[in-house]
Structure 1
Amino acid sequence: MTVLKTRAELRSDVGLRPDAGARLGPRPDAGPRPETRLRKAFGPLHRCGSVLVVAAPLVIFGLFFLYPVGALIGRGLIEAGRLDLSGFGDVLGRARFRRIIGFTLWQAAASAGLCLLLGVPGAFVLYRCRFPGVRLVRALVTVPFVLPTVVVGLAFRTLFAQDGLLGSWGWDGSVAAILAAHVFLNYAIVVRTVGTSWANLDPRPAEAARSLGAGPVRAFLTVTLRELAPSIAGTACIVFLFCATSFGVILILGGGQYSTVETEIYRQTADLLDLRTAAVLSIVQILLVTVVLLVAGLLRRRNEVTIELRRASGTARRLRWTDLPAIAVTAGAGVLVVVPLVVMVVRSLHTPDGLSLDNYRALGQVASGNVLLVPATTAIGNSLRTALTATVLAVALGLMLSMALSRRPRALAARRFLAGVDAVVMLPLGVSAVTVGFGFLITLNSGPLGLRGSAVLVPIAQALVATPLVVRLVLPVLRAADERLRQAAAVLGASPVRVWASVDLPIMGRALAGASAFAFAVALGEFGATSFLARPETPTLPVLIGRLISRPGAANTGMALAAATVLAAMCAVVVLLVDAVSSDARPGPGGF
């Protein structure tokens, strides 16, 4: 049954006063089209605001991302004031670097494939089925995604060490340990992204296939899988990207035997000061990232259109006996998620005198027997302050970018420009954090941007890493919103700011809350760029953990495990709050 609303009811729906549109005279259907009235109502103010919303984030990205990265690459490729591309031949002509590039691609593809094999059944169980505690399980499987890679590497090294729980497997320093750690980190991306799309699927086509004689497997392959294909493919691209640019996991678990482009950039920059080789490798990585982001963007837009046009939503159902294979795979993945963390916590309690809290107590003091320059409590305070600042910056930038990118201009040039902005914003996800951190040091050291040694560099670097995640969480929600709500608000006399406050903000409120919490967790655990920028007297907790890991000794290892446990607990609390406060803020199609 169609329900026709009066103008007063429509004004109430968009939060306006009953008399807000009285001066408009005739009914909307008697005058110009709503789009025309919208443009007239907003006028130059709307156009000026749109330009500022796009320009401000681009200026910040240009100054604090493109400029440092470009300057570092330029130092490696420009000799005596002229462009010198011979470095490509020197680097790519060496077998060692070709092996590093090949291993980077191979392990990323293998990790993405394993994540899909385990994550798709998990998406079905956690988003298509209903059982007690499902929201808690969703939150728990998300915890590894926001953990610092240095913590994950330490947890798996403890698990597979000779004296570890699985030391008999012989995986210490092996490729298998690296793949397991990457699946641990990225399993939640597949579950949450594919699960969100699956939860929105209309169940009737699959039910029709079943009624026509198709079995469960055939109905899944011929109907459900085809509808999920864009989401699955886009998620695979993102997981591939994260695994290809992994830093802490390879650095700790590779044991010097295995290197990726990311860790080799760090080695050439920090250890050998060979900027030419580092620049060539950075360009190779940027090209790889660009290709992956373009493919992921195409798949994401296709999936967003599919979700937007879909009107019927699937409903979660109770578990059935036929779901046992998916339940078994999900349970196995759950073991992979839980066991490394439990082992890390238990080992943090081990001391020469037995189980005790001595490792945690040692974090609170600076003694001659450890390498702490400041107590871990100070590092925790530094981490919280910088993460909070970074979150404010990331949310502000991500909100402006999401508002701009959610618009659908008619002009082809404008649409292409916004697509280019979207691609640029995603680059920090794949460009080496080492490149960004070292670029900060060599460029922001003089003139108006002479911020070298300033405490603001760390939150800025962390905000650049977190901003793409904010965009990917908020943007799909805005794109799925009905444009007619904004048009109705403008027709009824609302100003551009009022339209944003009464229409856009309520629509994206939950997603924005979730994005803020995720940005805080990611900034809290950022290690790559922060390891370059944090001063010795003001380390963050991940930097302190890396410092402890790099020094031999049972005391340092015990304190590293204790500090990693504290950091993991802080990230877990943030993730649990995400699902408690914004349980409906699920990642959008192709998002995170």
Structure 2
Amino acid sequence: MAAAVERRHLALIALAAIPVTVLAIFFVLPVTGMVGRGFRPEGHWDLVGVLDVLKRPRVHRVLWFTVWSSAVATSLTLVLGLPAAYVLHRLAFPLRRLVRAALLVPFVLPTVVVGVAFRELLTGPLAWLDLDGTPAAIIAGLVFFNVAVVIRAVGAAWESLDHRPAEAAAALGAGPWAVFRTVTLPALRPAIVGAASVVFLFCATAFGVVLTLGGLRYASVETEIYLLTTNLLDLQGAAALSILQLAVVTLLLAIGARLRPTPTAVTRVPPRPRRPRLADLPQILVTVALLAFVAAPILALVVGSLKDADGHWTMANYRALNTLGTHQALVEPVTTALDLSLRIAIDATLLSVLLGLLVALSVTRRAHTRAERRVRGALDALFMLPLGVSAVTLGFGFLVTLGRPPLNFRDSPWLVPIAQALVALPLVVRTLVPALQGIDDRQRQAAASLGAGPLRRLVVVEVPVLFRPVLAAAGFAFAVSLGEFGATSFLARDENATLPVVIFRLIGHPGPMNYGMALAASCVLAATTAAVMLVVERVRAPLLGGVL
């Protein structure tokens, strides 16, 4: 017995050693280094100064704007996402999978692209609404970006509900609303609350959307950290906001983990989708409106990229992608940035999937003791921490802590891929863990009883189950890495900037050609990520449902 326990402990250490080491060097060290400089600005502890930061009137305004805008955006996301989740997961109609994939694409679009698309929509076809640069524009962008979370998370739960209790309630005379309120809603409540907590988290930590649509007038905690570190060099203020953000996000992750149902190995046969009825018309209309809401900024972006300053149709913006823009706005052309972004995203995907597999295998092995269960739970929570730390904090932390021996990575070509891999890692883990948890442990025991060793059991039992989820996780990680902007904006230099950074720089340079190039580059980046997510949807692996 003691030998078996020792073997399990050694296996756990072997699996977790590499990802824990990577996380310690490239996440814990940079974040603590960045925060430590804020708490020790003159080489000694200054906790009073950090607390004084939270008393600043601007910080109060930033915190209040972050809270109320995230709350409103989360509420609107639920209002639009719940009917769409029902239509796309419980009703059968032509092109259902294509519509579902189309509504998933916004979540993986680069945040800079989302901001540019909404600016083009609000300064073009909807200019008469005078919403550009307002909180309404920011909230619209946040809803656009996060509605896929509700659709996939709640839709997956809705799809697997046992339909017999609802049918029994209807047979007893309950109307459709009464059935939903008394039977369906209680069953969906954990998924809804979990999705809402994750949406609020993503809204509160949004960076590119708020920075592009709000500028400095309407700042969230995330963009305020960016302003304090880059423009004002106020590391103490940035550290205080980073700690506050980490505490709030940790609380939200704990809520999501507590509400997340524990996967089992029991095979469940979900009810088959049925044909729409007249009673489904309100939900269908909301879904159609949501589809139009998602399509409008993307269509405006495409149309804007095909017109010049005088409104004439042209391909000049796309031909200019091979130039440096007007007034030498760029150091390298957009085409070079796209090639670099693709190569970096491939490297980041390989890193995140490899680390994610090791983490998933570590935390899903059967725990035989309470202490072992706690260790595996702690590891699972540890690798969710990158979700709770500002990408801005992570990027700036790389610069201040990994720029001198023995960890001098400042000039390393792996610095940006590692940062992007850490951003994608929690989503990869949450994609792979449910698939591994769904494997009946008796299959592993049966393979062991037949003489299969650990490697043989992995190949025979796990690999067939993990093949499609790994492909989906890789596609998801690639799309997220391709559009990552927060950490990369600190790490990418002018001569090797990624495409999201180049787009942001083009927006900041005057001239119609530079803006047209930004629109064209945004279309190229959006098309690339959309193509990746359409492939992901084809493999039908659980993506966002696993995040909760």
TM-score with structure 2 setting the length: 0.97
Please name the residue that 1:213 is paired with. 173
Please name the residue that 1:502 is paired with. 460
Please name the residue that 1:314 is paired with. 271
Q: Is contact 1:193-1:588 (8 Å) kept?
A: yes
Identify the match of residue 51 of structure 1 among 13, 18, 27: 13
Does residue 276 of structure 1 match 2:276? no
Identify the match of residue 233 of structure 1 among 193, 197, 203: 193
Distance 2:520 2:500 in 1: 12
Q: Is contact 1:123-1:192 (8 Å) kept?
A: yes
Q: Is contact 1:289-1:430 (8 Å) kept?
A: yes
Does residue 104 of structure 1 match 2:66? yes
Distance 1:68 1:318 in 2: 53
Distance 1:309 1:105 in 2: 40
Does residue 482 of structure 1 match 2:444? no
Does residue 176 of structure 1 match 2:176? no
Q: Is contact 1:394-1:466 (8 Å) kept?
A: yes
Please name the residue that 1:85 is paired with. 47
The number of residues matched between the two structures is: 547
Please name the residue that 1:587 is paired with. 543
Distance 1:369 1:63 in 2: 41
Please name the residue that 1:19 is paired with. none
Distance 2:432 2:376 in 1: 16
Q: Is contact 1:348-1:561 (8 Å) kept?
A: yes
Identify the match of residue 490 of structure 2 among 514, 532, 537: 532
Please name the residue that 1:435 is paired with. 393
Does residue 545 of structure 1 match 2:503? yes
Alignment of 1:332-411 (within 5 A): 332-352=289-309, 354-366=312-324, 369-411=327-369
Identify the match of residue 410 of structure 2 among 435, 452, 456: 452
Please name the residue that 2:216 is paired with. 256
Please name the residue that 1:28 is paired with. none
Distance 1:145 1:74 in 2: 33
Please name the residue that 2:145 is paired with. 185
Identify the match of residue 80 of structure 2 among 105, 118, 139: 118
Q: Is the partner of 2:94 in helix, strand or coil?
A: coil
Q: Which moved more, 1:389-398 or 1:170-179?
A: 170-179
Distance 1:386 1:52 in 2: 28
Q: Is contact 2:428-2:474 (8 Å) kept?
A: yes
The 1:560–1:341 alpha-carbon spacing in structure 2 relative to 1, beyond 3 Å, is same
Distance 1:91 1:389 in 2: 39
Percent identity over the alignment?
50
The 1:562–1:368 alpha-carbon spacing in structure 2 relative to 1, beyond 3 Å, is closer
How far off its partner does 1:430 sit? 2.8
How far off its partner does 1:44 sit? 5.7
Q: Is the partner of 1:355 in helix, strand or coil?
A: coil
Does residue 155 of structure 1 match 2:117? yes
How far off its partner does 1:586 sit? 2.2
Does residue 68 of structure 1 match 2:26? no
How far off its partner does 1:255 sit? 3.2
How far off its partner does 1:424 sit? 2.1
How far off its partner does 1:451 sit? 0.7
How far off its partner does 1:416 sit? 2.2
Q: Is contact 1:462-1:526 (8 Å) kept?
A: yes
The 1:211–1:290 alpha-carbon spacing in structure 2 relative to 1, beyond 3 Å, is same
The 1:155–1:80 alpha-carbon spacing in structure 2 relative to 1, beyond 3 Å, is closer
How far off its partner does 1:546 sit? 0.8
How far off its partner does 1:88 sit? 3.1
Identify the match of residue 555 of structure 1 among 492, 503, 513: 513
Amino acid at match of 1:338: A
Write the deviation string for residues 149-186 of structure 1: whole angstroms up to 9, x where unpaired.
Answer: 1110111111112xx11111121111111111011101
How far off its partner does 1:414 sit? 2.3
Q: Is the partner of 1:181 in helix, strand or coil?
A: helix
Please name the residue that 1:469 is paired with. 427
The 1:120–1:368 alpha-carbon spacing in structure 2 relative to 1, beyond 3 Å, is closer
Please name the residue that 2:250 is paired with. 290
Instruction: Give the structure with higher Rg (CA).
Output: 1
Amino acid at match of 2:431: L
Amino acid at match of 2:293: L
How far off its partner does 1:110 sit? 1.3
How far off its partner does 1:310 sit? 7.3
Q: Is contact 1:196-1:587 (8 Å) kept?
A: no
CA RMSD after TM alignment: 1.7
Q: Is the partner of 1:428 in helix, strand or coil?
A: helix
How far off its partner does 1:588 sit? 6.8
Write the deviation string for residues 336-362 of structure 1: whole angstroms up to 9, x where unpaired.
Answer: 110100000000111135110101111
Distance 1:91 1:534 in 2: 29
Distance 1:308 1:102 in 2: 44
Q: Is contact 2:39-2:50 (8 Å) kept?
A: no
Structure 1 gaps, min length 5: 1-35
Please name the residue that 1:134 is paired with. 96
Q: Is contact 2:110-2:483 (8 Å) kept?
A: yes
Amino acid at match of 1:167: A
Q: Which moved more, 1:431-440 or 1:316-325?
A: 316-325
Write the deviation string for residues 29-59 of structure 1: whole angstroms up to 9, x where unpaired.
Answer: xxxxxxx8xx98x786554232121222111
Write the deviation string for residues 468-518 of structure 1: whole angstroms up to 9, x where unpaired.
Answer: 111111111111221111111111111111111111111122111111100
The 1:77–1:212 alpha-carbon spacing in structure 2 relative to 1, beyond 3 Å, is same
How far off its partner does 1:412 sit? 2.1
Q: Is contact 1:351-1:359 (8 Å) kept?
A: yes
Distance 1:587 1:368 in 2: 41
Write the deviation string for residues 91-115 of structure 1: whole angstroms up to 9, x where unpaired.
Answer: 1112211121121111111111111
TM-score with structure 1 setting the length: 0.89
Q: Is the partner of 2:248 in helix, strand or coil?
A: helix
How far off its partner does 1:81 sit? 4.1
Distance 1:304 1:182 in 2: 29
Q: Which moved more, 1:489-498 or 1:411-420?
A: 411-420
Identify the match of residue 182 of structure 2 among 216, 222, 225: 222
Q: Is the partner of 2:496 in helix, strand or coil?
A: coil
Amino acid at match of 1:333: L
Distance 1:169 1:183 in 2: 18
Structure 2 gaps, min length 5: none
Q: Is contact 2:395-2:419 (8 Å) kept?
A: yes
How far off its partner does 1:590 sit? 5.1
The 1:483–1:589 alpha-carbon spacing in structure 2 relative to 1, beyond 3 Å, is farther
Q: Is contact 2:34-2:397 (8 Å) kept?
A: yes
Q: Is contact 2:120-2:300 (8 Å) kept?
A: yes
The 1:294–1:394 alpha-carbon spacing in structure 2 relative to 1, beyond 3 Å, is same
Distance 2:69 2:41 in 1: 35
Q: Is contact 2:326-2:511 (8 Å) kept?
A: no
